[in-house]
Structure 1
Amino acid sequence: MSGGDADAAGPLLLGVRHHGPGSARAVRAALEEARPGVVLIEGPPEADPLIPLAAEEDMRPPVALLAHAVDEPGRSAFWPLAGFSPEWVAIRWALEHGVPARFIDLPAAHTLAREEDEGHAPPAAAAGEGAVPEPRVRTDPLGALAEAAGYDDAERWWEDVVEHRGVGKGDPVAPFTALEEAMTALREECGDGGDERDLVREAHMRLRIRAAQREFGDGVAVVCGAWHVPALRRGNPLAADRALLKGLPKVKTDMTWVPWTHRRLSRASGYGAGIDSPGWYRHLFDAPDRPVERWLTEVAGLLRAEDRMVSSAHVIEAVRLAETLAAMRGRPLAGLSETTDAVRAVMCDGSDVPLALVRDRLVVGDVLGEVPAAAPAVPLQRDLARIQRRLRLKPEAAERQLELDLRKDTDAERSRLLHRLRLLGVGWGEPAVSRGSTGTFRESWRLRWEPELSVRVAEAGVWGTTVHTAATAKAETGAVTARGLDGVTGLAEHCLLAGLTGALPTVMRVLADRAALDTDVGHLARALPALVRSLRYGDVRGTDTAALAEVAAGLAGRICVGLPPACAGLDADAAEEMRDHVDAVHGAVGLLDDASAPGHGTLRVRWQTVLRTLSARDTVPGVVRGRSVRLLLDGGALARDEAARLMGLALSRGTPPADAAAWVEGFVGGASDGGLLLVHDERLLALVDAWLTGVPAEAFTEVLPLVRRTFSAYGPGVRRTVGELVRRGPGARAGVTGTGRVTPGFAPGPDTARADAVLPVLRLLLGGPGEEDERANTGPAGEAG
């Protein structure tokens, strides 16, 4: 803090630390004592009309002033304010006492224009630190003062000299005076501290102070960063200040209040003027007395909620330990470091794992502020807020999981909203793996509202005034400007997920045109699965997907024609990529049904013909040939004897070992179920075993990486079973070795008695017929009738 003699002529300068609860209490005490006629606050003057909103009942900090360029909403800056910020306390004091409050920092119009000229977007900025980004090297005034006082931690020094010292004893302006003297000495040593832009900002502040003095005389109080107080105190010629501000670039700017979070106040979030422990500072500001006891009680409550055994005795002992540590370290009151050490030792049994939870939930916290509905907002923001209220989807700072059942109207609308926002670049929700059913009627989302999303909403406002119209316009434009076919298919999928039926005709027209002109089989193969997924989503949401089905069928037909030639002459990397394409197309063809793709049965036959062609061509890489054989076998289009014959040919002595290893990789690699095929068909395992043991020593090191990659994908149980089969010799019939000994775990046939034992459990789980129904459905011999 810094300041001057309250009886001296000139303004009352109250230098503060942004987001410092001690500074906030001191500012309130100084304003109560001085009773100024106007309060000037470091911040953008464009926000002056927004100050009265701070008195609204539904305005709850932390909040932030958001400034953005009208023509380019993505170019923006924030001025965050917490409930314990001195600037917020000054605003509230002025409103409660009917005193004018005004912002005096450099206008946001100049700040955003300068950021454009310097070629980078402005970061979130501190209240009073404007939207001016931190330079690479800049004096840290608190760090310099802490070092001079013999502290190696500026946070700890500030707590000792400000946060833990009582306010209201003696002259309330005296602490400001002391810190002004320190800052004056520091600025005499460091000058502008490495940021020349401070000179421009301070020139504008002096002009605004002069104007307020002409209007209110000496009854002017200024709340600003302590670093600026010496420059505002010594003054500067009026002409020199005007010269510094002359010719500054500017842009048309809008401002509003937006919710902020404690997490975004922390330094860990990348917020340059932030603090390490906003939750702790909020507690220090709000606690009426006994802050250590109250804090440790909160910690105990959190740990109890997480099922840790924490009693009142733990709290008492932790308080004693924290106070003892503070006395040993020469601190006036136990601070965050002492309470953290006490919690670790007493409540967490020395473990940092539960301590991390305390830091995340309490020291930092997930508090999300609120702003009144009367705050200015772009039409898109108002429409989003209306939908959020109607669907009961309240934005929250803490991450939460949302499970949706698309068969319910409300959940279906929630799904459409979240998909539309994702299309607009507003990442409020991210799709997650469902914890319940995996059916297409289920969706799972992770929701977390970050303050930056307000900027994304403002930026998306250029597409329309409602979420629906904006998403539709962006989808149509995105389809026309998309570079590749897969980008258009992704948009078609988004349109169905988001229920944008108005955009579908444009997207489908572009999709059909791109598909007709694209001759790259890889592009077609990447596009087809997305189209098939879209068909399934359309079924769930009741969307007409006839046009999409027609395009998907045509795309699949073109793939069938172009895939065999495209698989010839590929190197190892291209062959791996082509195998993935074959897998994707196979899955897509399998998902197409008669209702969604006319001629589906013919398409499946054509695809099987393509796989047969790939499996028989020597010019096709081994990994693709092997995978084609496997897909035919799994689909019932290839007999096991034929599969064994093809494997025998691929693993014959005339085949180079590297090609044979690639064939094996394609046939039984790439997934955990490949090993099960070897477990259940010992002929195939015997062929692989015979080939592997016959690989020449000089070629073994070449094929070893492929072989290891193939078998490493199997689960532990599959690998163990394959090892047992190889140890006793694959191909030995009925699990009996040459000595007649039965290998444990293998028998001549299935054990029907053991299999029957699980039937009652299956009936219970699946809700099948009971025993009486089962007997009624069986014949005299116990066979099914």
Structure 2
Amino acid sequence: MSDSDGGTGPLLLGVRHHGPGSARAVRAALEAAGPRTVLIEGPPEADALIALAADEDMRPPVALLAHVVDEPGRSAFWPLAEFSPEWVAIRWALDHGVPARFIDLPATHTLAWGREETEDKENEGDKEASGEGASEKRERAGEGEPGGLPSEPAEAVRIDPLAVLAETAGYDDAERWWEDVIEHRGASDGDAFAPFEVLGEAMGALREAFGTGGHERDLVREAYMRLQVRAAQREFGDDVAVVCGAWHVPALRQRTTVAADRALLKGLPKAKADMTWVPWTHRRLSRMSGYGAGIDSPGWYGHLFGAADRPIERWMTKVARLLRDEDRPVSSAHVIEAVRLADTLAAMRGRPLPGLTETTDAVRAVMCEGSDVPLSLVHDRLVVGDVLGEVPAAAPAVPLQRDLDRLQRRLRLKPEAQERELELDLRKENDAGRSRLLHRLRLLGIEWGEPATSRGSTGTFRETWRLRWEPELAVRVAEAGVWGTTVLAAATAKAETDAVGARSLADVTGLAERCLLAELPDALPVVMRILADRAALDADVGHLAQALPALVRSLRYGDVRGTGTEALAEVAAGLAERVFVGLPPACAALDADAAEEMRGHVDAVHGAVGLLGEGEGEGEGQGEDSASRGGIRGRWHGVLRTLSGRDTVPGVVRGRAVRLLLDDGALGQEEAARLMGLVLSPGTEPADAAAWIEGFVGGGSGGGMLLVHDERLLGLVDAWLTGVPGDAFTDVLPLLRRTFSAYEPGVRRTLGELVRRGPGTRGGATATATASGIPGFAPDLDAARADAVLPVLRLLLGLDETEDADGPGDSRTNDSRANDSSTNDNGADDNDLVGVGR
């Protein structure tokens, strides 16, 4: 076999990784040469995995994954797409019964080498998300392995060979030059080896001018490649074909001694590594993903490789189909005109064929009517794409991955590259199983799904997840394999270990909540024991207040999932009692920042008590547990009254305590107005009064609407504010501005109108309504106005008007039905209906 320089030796096929033109040229050259073996740039540990490429269940894009056995997080990827020259060479060798081997530096050295300079790589900011990547430019030029070696020291000056060649040819865009020279030409025009000879000469000139181009570590890799090529020549003679990055071709031609090459490899660090195939995505092949695979448009390149003829026409048809699916009016005439415009642009720009730039310009002008909004959809779905590869079950995998695959099949939850929302109804067995799996994976650090806010319901029996499978999750699965061989066992062991190592009480309570969501019955007792011990020893009221909400939420989730939460309820009740006892002393003598933090704790505890005391007031015969919860809310109201009446408690906390009592109906409006009047009296420091107002009506708690509908309180605030001395007003202004700026614009506008009209400070609501002329303020409910709303509400709720014998407009009928506390067939209580109407 002749070398590309005309002499004897191995056939060197220099390529660009993930280049469809290179892939076509490699296939043509292999067909013409018919080598006895094919050597491919890649880790030799993957030789045993090459046969899997012929499996019918193997669908690129895929990647070779290497990871350190005792440190799975240290890993490297070698991605391969259908249009990658390396993948084409592998498939050609398998189809023709020719041995194929990888000849790059073993992953055992690559991974160990990276361990020594992780810090340098992070500072350089040019690494793969797995922690072992080479620079993007290096991959884009085709001079490094797809996974990449650790990056060079930061001071190394690196060049981009494609950019240099493009600039020499008069191009300002390396991608466009590569398309014109390589991608837009056929396999060959009579000489299958011509493209490789030209590209090899160009790379030789660049290496002569720039040396290693800043890629010093390539010297070691190339020394190992030369040794492997010599070994193959001893076995097969010169009938050897080598598929590698074009940057390495001059080095593989170089005449060196075996001793010199072995000297370069002496003393390399080692790490025990495992390898397997994992699915990959087109999005991860794009440069924007951070993996440095080096192509901006994997979807476009895949199309160029797969289109046997008329690639531009076929591409425009794909674009038209996508836009039609999105309800864009695109006809056949649009497709024809877009093709014509792309051809015209290519001719005007002196290009042999329309490239991605010309097709994009044509799509924007013809199909998108000049708008970049639908064009961005085309770029995301087609130019980049969301293709997710598949790996056969025979591929090596850790036991945890096997169990995860089994659960995904059983639950019909297939990984997908494109993000999608998944609505779960926990009352259904399959949906509950999906929820358990996703929560367990999150506990293990495998972020396949992210919880999202449910748009359809606020009930605890519904969950919404945002799912997206990323290739690096395979690394997370390998890392989590140290905890167990199944998802359940691994999540249980991880939860127990996290509970022991938790730094705060809030961390343990949050972990208890996650254990309930993931349904880990074996881990929960361990977590609860640690939680009880931490709660008994922790005297910080802030820590206790932070821990209580998560604990109470766990009770609700445990109820809906049918999980026993008796022990959890006991700990929650004990924690609440300790908060009740310790909160008043803890609120004394606090500075402004500590007082604001304590107000947040008071809000959190109030919400938790509201859930913990849901059984209160439900009547007799509700059981002992309900009776035990019934006093919790009353005791909490006692704590709030204590906070509201102590002068040593900061104003923001006292104001919030009064507001919470008012919202719960434990404090009358007259009493709230009296307390506000006392605080806003001239004897109170303006700063403390402003803080009290912030606590009472601030924090996004609906305080603006309270002032709108109770002009007595608004009058008190207005009278106090207008009476603040000028020197003190400057101090209280920032706090008041923060308080009122949090209100919605409509609320602020209404308050401004009420203040301008002059709300009464002592005349009551009736006097204010009379003076201002604003309808809707009266001593009692206006039944006639409320009844007028009922027909509209019935229409919105889908209620049958015949359910009321006297009709929906009869307030007496609705009131009598409300007193019966009866519920209609649609589950809507008429008592609630009348209350809303009025």
Q: TM-score range by the shorter chain?
A: over 0.9
Moved over 4 A (4+): 124-127, 594-598, 732-741, 744-751, 776-785
Please give the per-residue CA displacement for 1:283-302, whole angstroms capped at 9, x wherever unaligned: 11111111111112211211
Superposed CA deviations along residues 267-317 of structure 1, whole A, max 9, x for unmatched, are 111122321111111111111111111112211211121122222222222
Match for 2:390 among 370, 387, 401? 370
| Cα shift at 1:409 | 0.6
CA offset at residue 486 of structure 1? 0.8
For 1:102, the aligned partner's letter is R
The answer to whether the Cα contact below 8 Å between 2:783 and 2:811 also exists between their aligned partners in 1 is no
**Are the structure 2 counterparts of residues 782 and 88 from structure 1 closer, same or farther at C-alpha, using a change threshold of 3 Å?**
closer
Question: Match of 1:131, as an amino acid?
Answer: G
- Residue 720 in structure 1 maps to residue 749 in structure 2: yes
Whole-Å Cα distance in 2 between the matches of residues 352 and 472 of structure 1?
Answer: 49
Aligned residue number for residue 757 of structure 1: 788
Partner of 1:97: 96
* Contact 1:321 1:342 (C-alpha < 8 Å) held by counterparts: yes
Contact 2:711 2:768 in 1 (8 A): no
Is 1:602 paired with 2:631? yes
Distance 1:670 1:330, change over 3 A: same
Give 1:723 deviation, angstroms.
2.3
SS in 2 for 1:263: helix
Structure 2 residue 542 is matched with structure 1 residue 513? no
Q: CA deviation at 1:536?
A: 0.3
User: Among residues 358, 373, 378, which one is paired with 2:378 in the alignment?
Assistant: 358
Structure 2: distance between partners of 1:564 and 1:617: 9
Contact 2:421 2:466 in 1 (8 A): yes
Distance 2:647 2:787 in 1: 48
**Residue 132 (structure 1) aligned to one of 149, 156, 163:** 149
Displacement after TM superposition at 1:5 (Å): 3.1
Correspondence 1:192-271 to 2 at 5 A: 192-271=212-291
User: Whole-Å Cα distance in 2 between the matches of residues 609 and 342 of structure 1?
Assistant: 72
1:32-431 aligned within 5 A: 32-120=31-119, 122-124=131-133, 128-135=145-152, 136=154, 137-431=157-451
State how far apart, in whole Å, the 1-side matches of 2:161 and 2:246 are: 9
Q: Which runs of 5+ in 1 are unaligned?
A: none
| Residues 40 and 86 in structure 2, CA contact (< 8 A), matched pair in contact too | yes
Is 1:574–2:605 an aligned residue pair?
no
* Greater displacement, 34-43 / 727-736: 727-736
Where 1:775 maps in the other structure, the secondary structure is coil
Cα 1:748–1:734 shift into 2, 3 Å: farther
Distance 1:783 1:490, change over 3 A: closer
The alignment partner of 2:743 has SS state of: coil
For residues 529-678 of structure 1, what are the structure 2 equivalents within 5 Å? 529-593=549-613, 594=615, 599-671=628-700, 673-678=702-707
The answer as to whether partners of 2:25 and 2:192 remain within 8 angstroms in 1 is yes
Partner of 2:452: 432
Call closer, same or farther: CA 1:618–1:336 in 2, change over 3 Å: same
Q: Residues of 1 paired with 2:688 and 2:799: CA distance?
A: 49
Query: Matches of 2:699 and 2:48 in 1, distance apart?
Result: 63
Q: Could you say if the C-alpha distance between residues 200 and 738 of structure 1 is closer, same or farther in structure 2, counting changes exceeding 3 Å?
A: closer
Cα displacement (A) at 1:642: 0.9
Residue of structure 2 equivalent to 1:730: 759
From the superposition, tell whether residues 709 and 780 of structure 1 become closer, same or farther in structure 2 (CA, over 3 Å): closer
Please identify, of 488-497 and 563-572, the stretch whose mean Cα deviation from structure 2 is larger: 563-572
- Amino acid in the other structure paired with 1:202: E
Q: What count of residue pairs does the alignment treat as equivalent?
A: 783
Unpaired segments ≥5 residues, structure 2: 120-129, 616-623, 817-838
Aligned partners of 1:429 and 1:446 also within 8 Å: yes
**89-98 vs 710-719, greater mean Cα deviation:** 710-719
Which has the higher mean CA deviation after the structures are superposed, 571-580 or 592-601? 592-601
1:752: Cα distance to partner?
3.7
Partner residue in 2 for 1:707: 736
User: Structure 2 counterpart of 1:122, which letter?
Assistant: G
SS in 1 for 2:118: coil
Once the two structures are superposed, residues 62-114 of structure 1 have per-residue CA deviations (whole angstroms, 9 ceiling, x without a partner) of 00000001111111100000010000000000000100000000000000011
Residue 59 of structure 1, CA deviation: 0.3
- 3-state SS, counterpart of residue 385 of structure 1: helix
C-alpha distance in 1 between matches for 2:272 and 2:814: 85
- The answer for the alignment partner of 1:692 in structure 2 is 721
In the aligned structure 2, how far is the partner of 1:321 from the partner of 1:783? 69
Q: Is the 8 A contact 1:728 1:743 kept in 2?
A: no
Secondary structure of residue in 2 paired with 1:376: coil
Deviations 1:707-765 (A, max 9, x none): 12212222233223222222222136667779967246767865544422221232344
**Which amino acid counterpart does residue 712 of structure 2 have in structure 1?**
R
Shift of residue 61, structure 1, vs aligned partner: 0.3
Deviations 1:602-631 (A, max 9, x none): 222221111111111111111101000000
Provide the secondary structure at the position in 2 that maps to 1:431. strand
Matched to 2:751, the amino acid is V
How far apart, CA to CA, are the structure 1 residues paired with 2:491 and 2:477?
12
Matched, 1:491 2:511: yes
User: What's the CA shift for 1:250?
Assistant: 0.8
Q: Residues 701 and 405 of structure 1: is their aligned pair in 2 closer, same or farther, counting only changes over 3 Å?
A: same
Structure 1: distance between partners of 2:282 and 2:348: 31
Aligned-pair identity in percent equals 77
